[in-house]
Structures are given as structure tokens and as C-alpha cells.
Amino acid sequence: MRTTAQIFKALSDETRLRIMSLLIEGRELCVCDIMAVLKLPQSTVSRHLSYLRNAGLVSGRRQGVWMYYQVDLTGSVHSAPLITLLGEMMEDSAQALVEKRSLEFHLEEKENNLCALPTPSRNK
């Protein structure tokens, strides 16, 4: 019963629902990506991601100084059906649609900027 309550408490916050909406597509996102789309500070995004991780809804991995998160369908026996239902519910949300478009734009810009960076010079 405690795990079920923890999952529903995690999903009872609008910011956490917004984060889940971005992650629900199955892609892995950096905290900086979520910050850029939701226009929230790193500390706020990280706190909400921690809450979602503790509820077993997302998993994270560290790559250097960056943290990447994705939906965790194995977190609990109820995670997969709840996440599926949440995804269906988010399809009707105008705000979720705007934020998903914003994420696509952000990721495209991020990729273009990385490609435009000069390569390190090599010492001969």
C-alpha cells in the first residue's frame, strides 16, 4: 500500500506531471533539457526528478557532470499501466503539446549547436 501511495503522491504535482509528459515518449533527457522547456531552475527540476525516481517512475544515470532520466517501466508492478494511462491523458493536454513541441525545438537547436562547435586543435 505504501508504494502505491508514493506513486500517486508523485503524480499529484503539476510540475512532476509536466516532467513525466516530456519523458513519457520514451526518450532519455538531460536535466538541462527539462529545465529549458519548463523554464525552471536546476534545483527545482532535480528535486522533482528525485521524487519521481524514489516513487519508481523514472530512472537516472550520470554521464560526467550530467544526469539523464527516462521513464522506468520496471519500477513497480503498477508503473507500466499507469504510465500508459498518463500518456493517453497527456495527449489531450494543450500545455503538454506545447511543451513537447518546445522540447523538439530545444533538442534540434542543441544538436545544431553541438555540430557547430569547433573541433579541438591537435598538437603536432
Task: Please tell me the total count of domains within the chain.
Answer: 1
At 89-101, the pLDDT tens digits run 998 899 999 999 9
Q: Alpha-carbon torsion 21, 1, 73, 36, what sign?
A: positive
Whether the model pTM is above 0.75: yes
CATH number at residue 95: 1.10.10.10
Choice among 45-49, 75-79, 80-84, 104-108 with the minimum mean pLDDT: 75-79
User: What are 49-54's contacts with CB under 8 Å, separation 24+?
Assistant: 49/19, 51/10, 51/13, 51/16, 52/10, 52/16, 52/19, 52/20, 54/6, 54/10
Mean pLDDT of 30-35: 95
> Does the pLDDT at position 115 exceed 60?
no
Domain that holds residue 69: 2-116
Q: Give Cβ neighbours of residue 6 (< 8 Å, ≥ 6 apart).
A: 54, 55, 56
Q: Is residue 72 situated within a structural domain?
A: yes
Q: Is 122 part of a structural domain of the chain?
A: no
* 123 falls within a domain: no
